[in-house]
């Protein structure tokens, strides 16, 4: 295709011509030609060629004042029992900045001095201990990138399209690099007794968050985490210490951790009986439904976005699974009739957000776009109908149905 034609579709007002000319062209070819046209157009006007005498260095950084992405929350009657959501629609890559990590507090954010904080580990161990933060930070540590998702995330979509945008519908998931001590190494040292089958974790906040963790998981990949994205945990994420349970529902990742008790039977606390259980259609409930099932969502374009004009559109989003790595993400731009394999940013990490991309040539017609993911165990993200057929409508937690967005001819995007 000649340069003249590239420029022709780039000029505003020429979209109708461009659309006819590009119809049937592979989307990557279209992307390359659009980029080339943009480059040729980019002769800077004289007044833009200038430089600034800048501000001095600073002790602790802040983002550019032009950037406004923020957590979203509804003011509730009791602000101590609230949550805020990550702006996934404007996120890049897979790491959530700590300042935008979603929050879920049942008793507010306590202000805990690390110098006085203690972790008691007792119960069915030969040598119970009380550890200070300095003692914990002396132990060999690891750093790992993991997602953290509240099992209530996307619960709003059980009955069909509900929330207007990806932040409100999906924003209770975030992904950080977490640093801490493998719980296994400490339990090995303390002499775990064979009768110890569960560990009851308790937080130091007003709600005394209490959850029971099976010993097999505790001895696998659980961390006593004190670091997040290269610095100490944020207060909102459990400073100075939290339990980190990779791939499992957010609630068991007890923040402000102060007690671990090794026991024979689960505690049957509020958070694992009346809450965080899943009522099934036959009236029985799933309990200890820890694993976060595979889920994916297109974050751009998504609800609330407006496409400027027909032409090249980068579809991008996130996929993750509590069972391991994402093996494949597929994207449909024709209401599920055909599916295309998306490109995954590498490395693809187990139990972490995985960024996917698919380059789409939007022809200006109404379109429904969606993504579905398959994890390394072969688990396929279900449609809403498939999920509802098994789990019914009584559940609040663990909704992971395929999400669709509708692109209207004027470029507006809505939840479909
Ligand atoms: N001590 C304590 N731990 C807690 C909670 C809490 O309120 N108190 N909330 C839980 C819930 S429901 C979730 S989803 C995650 C949220 O972690 P975050 O606020 O770091 O995103 O923490 C869990 N751990
Ligand atoms: Mo949660």
Rounded to whole angstroms, the Cα distance separating 71 from 402 reads 24
| 3-state secondary structure (DSSP) of residue 54 | coil
Instruction: Give me the residues near ligand 2 (ion), CB cutoff below 5 Å.
Output: 104, 150, 250-251
Distance of alpha carbon 273 from alpha carbon 292, whole angstroms: 18
Of the ranges 36-50, 81-95, 154-168, which one carries the lowest mean pLDDT score? 36-50
Q: Give the separation between CA 170 and CA 163, rounded to whole angstroms.
A: 9
What separation in Å is there between the alpha carbon of 105 and the centre of ligand 2? 8
Q: What is the pLDDT of residue 292?
A: 98
Task: Assess contact for 352 and 94: CB atoms under 8 A.
Answer: yes
CB within 6 Å of ligand 1 — which residues? 101-107, 148, 150, 203, 205, 207, 209, 236-237, 250-251, 253-256
What are the sequence ranges of the domains in the chain?
72-283, 295-415
The pLDDT of residue 75 is 75
Q: Which atom of ligand 1 is nearest to the CA of 152?
A: 14
What CA–CA distance (Å, rounded) separates 268 from 336? Answer: 42
| Residue 2: predicted pLDDT | 38
pLDDT in tens, 178-199: 999 999 999 999 999 999 999 9
The share of the chain scoring above pLDDT 90, in percent, equals: 85
Picking from 22-26, 116-120, 203-207, which range would have the lowest pLDDT averaged per residue?
22-26
pLDDT at 9: 43
Smallest CA-to-CA distance from 278 within 291, 266, 261 is with: 291
Q: What is the mean pLDDT of residues 246-272?
A: 98
The yes-or-no verdict on residue 30 having pLDDT over 60 is no
- Cβ-based neighbours of 229, under 8 Å, separated by 6 or more: 95, 97, 98, 176, 177
In this prediction, residue 81 carries a pLDDT of 78
What is the Cα–Cα distance from 323 to 291, expressed in whole angstroms?
Answer: 7
Question: What was the pLDDT predicted at 45?
Answer: 62
Residue 20 has pLDDT above 60, yes or no: no
Q: Identify the band that residue 25 occupies on the pLDDT scale cut at 50, 70 and 90.
A: very low
The predicted model gives 11-30 an average pLDDT of 44
| Contact (CB, 8 A) for 205 and 105 | yes
Q: Best substitution site from 73, 101, 103, 150 to test ligand 1's pocket, by max atoms within 8 Å of Cβ?
A: 150
pLDDT class for 33, splitting at 50, 70, 90? low
The residue whose CB lies within 8 Å of the most ligand 1 atoms, and thus the one to mutate among 100, 172, 207, 251, is 251
Residue-wise pLDDT tens digits, 323-366: 999 999 999 999 999 999 999 999 999 999 999 999 999 999 99
Whether the pLDDT of residue 23 is over 70: the answer is no
Ligand of minimum distance to the alpha carbon of 178: 1
Relative orientation angle of helices 15-22 and 3-10, to the nearest 10 degrees: 130
Q: What is the pLDDT of residue 43?
A: 63
Question: Ligand 1: which atom is nearest the Cα of residue 276?
Answer: 12
Q: Quick check: helix, strand or coil at residue 34?
A: helix
- CB 245: neighbour CB atoms within 10 A? 27
pLDDT of 59 higher than 90: yes
- Fold for the domain defined by 295-415: Immunoglobulin-like (2.60.40)
pLDDT of residue 4: 41
Ligand 1 center from residue 102 Cα (angstroms): 10
Nearest CA to ligand 1 atom 18: 103
- Per-residue pLDDT, 38: 58
Q: What's the 29 CA to ligand 1 centre distance in angstroms?
A: 46
Which of ligand 1's atoms lies nearest the C-alpha of 150?
14
Which residue from 212, 253, 270, 292 has its CB within 8 A of the most atoms of ligand 1, so it is best to mutate?
Answer: 253
- The closest of 197, 385, 409, 156 to 288, measured between CA atoms, is 197
Identify the nearest ligand to the CA of 173 by its number. 1
Of all protein residues, the one whose alpha carbon is nearest to atom 19 of ligand 1 is: 103
The confidence score (pLDDT) of residue 77 equals 72
Fold of 72-283: Sulfite Oxidase; Chain A, domain 2 (3.90.420)
* Dist. CA 175 → ligand 2 center (Å): 15
Report the percentage of the chain scoring pLDDT > 70.
Answer: 88
Mutate to test the pocket of ligand 1, among 81, 88, 100, 106 (most ligand atoms within 8 A of CB): 106
Query: What's the 114 CA to ligand 2 centre distance in angstroms?
Result: 25
95-154: pLDDT as tens digits: 999 999 999 999 999 999 999 999 999 999 999 999 999 999 999 999 999 999 999 999
Average pLDDT over the chain reads 91
């Amino acid at each position: 295709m000649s340069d003249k034609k590239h420029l022709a579709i780039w000029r505003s007002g020429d979209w109708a011509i461009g659309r006819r000319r590009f119809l049937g062209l592979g989307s990557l070819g279209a992307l390359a030609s659009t980029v080339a046209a943009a480059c040729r157009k980019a002769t800077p006007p004289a007044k833009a060629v200038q430089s600034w005498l800048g501000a001095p260095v600073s002790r602790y950084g802040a983002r550019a004042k032009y950037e406004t992405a923020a957590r979203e929350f509804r003011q509730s009657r009791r602000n101590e029992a609230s949550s805020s959501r990550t702006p996934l629609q404007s996120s890049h890559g897979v790491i959530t900045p700590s300042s935008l990590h979603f929050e879920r507090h049942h008793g507010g954010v306590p202000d805990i001095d690390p110098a006085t904080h203690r972790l008691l580990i007792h119960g069915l161990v030969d040598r119970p201990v009380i550890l200070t933060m300095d003692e914990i930070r002396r132990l060999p540590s690891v750093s790992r990138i993991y997602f953290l998702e509240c099992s209530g995330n996307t619960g709003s979509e059980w009955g069909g399209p509900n929330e207007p945008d990806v932040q409100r519908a999906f924003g209770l998931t975030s992904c950080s690099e977490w640093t801490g001590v493998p719980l296994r190494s400490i339990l090995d040292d303390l002499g775990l007794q064979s009768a110890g089958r569960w560990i009851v974790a308790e937080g130091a906040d007003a709600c005394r968050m209490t959850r029971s963790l099976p010993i097999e998981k505790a001895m696998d990949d659980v961390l006593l985490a004190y670091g997040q994205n290269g610095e100490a945990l944020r207060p909102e994420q459990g400073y100075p210490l939290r339990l980190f349970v990779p791939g499992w529902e957010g609630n068991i990742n007890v923040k402000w951790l102060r007690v671990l008790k090794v026991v024979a039977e689960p505690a049957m606390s509020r958070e694992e009986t009346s809450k965080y259980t899943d009522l099934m259609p036959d009236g029985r409930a799933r309990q200890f439904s820890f694993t976060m099932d595979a889920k994916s969502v297109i974050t751009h374009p998504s609800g609330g976005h407006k496409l400027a004009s027909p032409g090249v559109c980068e579809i991008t989003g996130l996929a993750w699974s509590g069972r391991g790595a994402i093996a494949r993400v597929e994207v449909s731009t024709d209401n599920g009739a055909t599916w295309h394999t998306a490109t995954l940013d590498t490395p693809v990490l187990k139990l972490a957000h995985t960024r996917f991309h698919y380059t789409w040539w939007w022809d200006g017609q109404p379109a429904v776009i969606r993504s579905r993911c398959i994890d390394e165990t072969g688990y396929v993200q279900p449609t809403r109908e498939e999920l509802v057929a098994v789990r019914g409508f009584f559940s609040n937690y663990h909704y992971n149905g395929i999400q669709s967005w509708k692109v209207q001819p004027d470029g507006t995007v809505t939840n479909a």
